[in-house]
Structure 1
Amino acid sequence: MTVVPPARPRTRRHGRAVLLAAALAVVAALVAELVGGGAAGAAARRHPHRAHQHRTHHRPHHHAPASRSAGTTTAPAPTQRPAASPRPSTTPTVARSWGVTGPGVPSDLSGLDQLTGATGSAPGVVMFYVAWSLHSAFPTASAAAIAQHHAVPEVTWEPWDPSQGVTQPTYSLARITSGAFDSYLRSWAQGIKAYGAPVRLRFAHEMNGSWYPWAEGVNGNKPGSYVVAWNHVRAVFAKAGVRNVTWVWCPNVPFTGSTPLGGLFPGDANVDEVALDGYNWGTTQSWGSTWQSFAQVFGPGVAQLSSLSTKPISIGEVGTTDVGGDKPQWIRDMWTTLASWPRVRGLVWFDFAKECDWRIESSADSFAAFTGGLAGYLAG
């Protein structure tokens, strides 16, 4: 099915309108390619007390979000807090980049060239999800295909079976640390080393929530066990002599009741980058979600990361609905906020239309707001 963003009203600046229409046609082609390649069979869930989504079903090498599963426990929405200003830092040495994840990735990358043409900038990161229950080898061919599109593959590497919920003793942190998965870890370490090009690994993300079996306080996991498991996984890779991995530590944006980040952080010696996942749900959710600006969603968390670490900061996943507010203005405000946060060096846009339409191209104005601010962000 081809998805075409709504057309903007015709103005006297017909030439600009024609250019915009052409760009939107390219985006429509992208959407058609991506949805056609990856929408079938993709499913997931979203937790009701955080600005994020996570997944319950998968396909080989990836799985994609959809609606929350029936068994998800409902909890109060996070308290909306004023945005905090991240701590100033020294002049950044890492160039800014942007990335994307969406339906079909990584098995179908046919839309990336169209996306590059439409936005005027090639995504520097293409992110996808791999569950340990697949017992799959490192997807060398998919990684190489992403690299051919001038992007770095980022694997959100999830120690669980997405169909089995939170309580999965097989994937407890203690079992990971005990070496129960070392053979699997070694196979990935050897595969990535043989691949040779840069790879980003986002292992066991959003560990400060309660919706994954690697979170402390669920699945029999004790306080302090996350850092031990993280360091064990890294040690397996170090022993294999892997030098081409960027280790991305990525909690969810903090919320009332989330596990404090300080006890989950492995330390600067054991991470290469720190990140946050967060979303503006607007007024879409029955648990009382409210419209939040980019700064409100990410500000407190970015401030905490700035205090915890001297490593580069990135936005691991981001998206906004258009229900309850002005999505184009939200995106413009995002670029303005990021310009004032020099520590934040990258973002990955969650380009799915699921329980909310998170996509960049959900409307002509949203797409124009994204492309209008992208070049300035990358130049910062």
Structure 2
Amino acid sequence: MKLFRYILCFAVLLAWAIPAGAAPAHAAMAAITLSPNTGPAGTSVTITGTGFPKKTSGTVTAGTASAPFKTSASGYFTADLVMPESAEPTVTVRAATATASATAPFTVTYSSPSIVEEEPPAEPAPAPAPTSPAAPAPATLLRFGVGTPGGPLAAAELNEVTALAGEAPSIILSYKDFNQAPPITELEAVRARGALTLLTWEPWAWGGGTAQPAYALDRITAGDFDPYLRQWGQALAGWGHPVMLRFGHEMNGNWYPWSEQVNGNGSGDYVAAWQHVHGVVTAAGATNITWVWNPNVPYWGSVPLAGLYPGAGYVDAVALDGYNWGTSASWSSWVSPSQLFGDGLSQLRALAPGKQILIAETSSAEQGGSKADWITALVSYLSAQPDITALTWFHYNKETDWRINSSTPSADAFKQALAARR
């Protein structure tokens, strides 16, 4: 009997000890998922994390690319990352805080977008028409474009804009810096929507401010970035469809490191850099690009446009960026569309006669006047000028609420103004 009691006690103690020492079945484990989890280098991927420490900062990495994140009160986060070039078939994406980490594989469908082979046509392709392959079809009305925070892959944002505007945007604005691969997946997503990409290519590292000597204009001209430029040229050539490329936009201001007013740059450096970039990318075979030269609307103290224009042989289209800040800033006041764009448009026509003109970024604040009336006036003003081919709206809630639907009257006016131009 004593032996039986001994065995019974031992069994009870063992049964108690095993779950006490093991991790609870419901304990959260850090994990991440990728969307999408496959594609070429240059794909924008959304990383979703769960089970991480609550309200904690961390970093997502994939090869040379990285992005910060902060978890919620439930240990959840999302972060966006652009997949870098890789010689391996998979890239390991890792999310880590000081006390937890998780990984997930991203499958690279091919090492460089430039080497994708398209299926051969069933019959010989007809000879191309004697027009620039990158030039959009002649517009019968002012084209509507948009830029949203999520960019070309943010389908929900673009669908919302379509509903607000009463029509799908035919131009989609996006941004890449000099650390990002050619965004072929994004370009293809825009093409699938029946639209054209207005791709902003910024020669700097995002978040680094205006003092970035590594990206000084004379370094670009000297060829320091030529391998990277060729990569872009080959990738865009391999993709083979029309894309509008605005390199180093708003160069007449002083808020980017490619301005001649900052970062050790001097007079003539911008034109030299533009011409060099154009030459390298074109030599790589990218003849499907419409090169868009895009200053900000001139203002007191801005660099004169005449010294920044690369020349007709290096530019296919010209553009302006301009915003009605209203009274949303301490230094700003309400301006009408003609006051905002009139002088800049006159200068563009003098510098680049015969070139198509785009309004590549614009919006209005609500403060200081009627945004609804401003929108109505803007579309009417631009539609009356045949050489202006596009209006691209900056649909962001950033310095102020620039969005189409910052108010119900503004959203209604936007839809009505676009409908009236038909």
TM over 0.5: yes
Asked which structure has the greater CA Rg, the reply is 2
- Going from structure 1 to structure 2, the CA distance change for 1:94 and 1:266 (only over 3 Å counts) comes to farther
Residues 302-346 of structure 1: per-residue CA shift (max 9 Å, x gap): 111111112001101001011110010011111221133222110
CA RMSD in angstroms, aligned pairs only: 2.0
Aligned residue among 333, 337, 341 for 1:298: 341
Q: Which has the higher helix share?
A: 1
- Going from structure 1 to structure 2, the CA distance change for 1:170 and 1:349 (only over 3 Å counts) comes to same
Measured in 1, the distance between the counterparts of 2:160 and 2:185 equals: 21
The residue type paired with residue 195 of structure 1 is W
Measured in 1, the distance between the counterparts of 2:406 and 2:204 equals: 32
Q: Which residue of 2 aligns with 1:22?
A: none
1:109 aligns with 2:155: yes
The residue type paired with residue 333 of structure 2 is T
**1:285 Cα deviation from its structure 2 partner:** 0.9
Within a 5 Å distance, the mapping from 1:49-64 to structure 2 comes to: 60=81
| Contact 1:157 1:204 (C-alpha < 8 Å) held by counterparts | yes
Instruction: Point out where structure 2 has 5 or more consecutive residues left out of the alignment.
Output: 1-45, 48-78, 84-136
- Going from structure 1 to structure 2, the CA distance change for 1:247 and 1:60 (only over 3 Å counts) comes to farther
Q: Which residue of 2 aligns with 1:124?
A: 170
| Contact 1:252 1:277 (C-alpha < 8 Å) held by counterparts | yes
Q: Which has the higher strand share?
A: 2
| Contact 2:259 2:265 (C-alpha < 8 Å) held by counterparts | yes
Secondary structure at 1:313 match in 2: strand
| Contact 2:150 2:157 (C-alpha < 8 Å) held by counterparts | no
Q: Identity percentage over the alignment?
A: 46
**1:191 Cα deviation from its structure 2 partner:** 0.8
Aligned residue among 143, 147, 155 for 1:97: 143
Q: Which residue of 1 aligns with 2:259?
A: 215
| Contact 2:164 2:404 (C-alpha < 8 Å) held by counterparts | no
The residue type paired with residue 292 of structure 1 is V
Aligned residue among 295, 300, 316 for 1:251: 295
**1:200 Cα deviation from its structure 2 partner:** 1.3
The residue type paired with residue 306 of structure 1 is R
**1:278 Cα deviation from its structure 2 partner:** 0.6
Residues 216-272 of structure 1: per-residue CA shift (max 9 Å, x gap): 131111211111110101101221121111111000000001000001001121111
TM-score of the two chains, using structure 1 as the length reference:
0.73
1:163 aligns with 2:204: no
- Going from structure 1 to structure 2, the CA distance change for 1:61 and 1:340 (only over 3 Å counts) comes to farther
Within a 5 Å distance, the mapping from 1:72-91 to structure 2 comes to: none
| Contact 2:245 2:292 (C-alpha < 8 Å) held by counterparts | yes
Measured in 2, the distance between the counterparts of 1:119 and 1:257 equals: 36
| Contact 2:148 2:158 (C-alpha < 8 Å) held by counterparts | no
**1:110 Cα deviation from its structure 2 partner:** 2.7
Within a 5 Å distance, the mapping from 1:1-380 to structure 2 comes to: 60=81, 93-95=138-140, 96-132=142-178, 134=179, 136-286=180-330, 288-309=331-352, 310-377=354-421, 379=422
Measured in 2, the distance between the counterparts of 1:265 and 1:190 equals: 26
Number of aligned residue pairs: give it.
291
TM-score of the two chains, using structure 2 as the length reference:
0.66
Residues 142-165 of structure 1: per-residue CA shift (max 9 Å, x gap): 111111111112211101112221
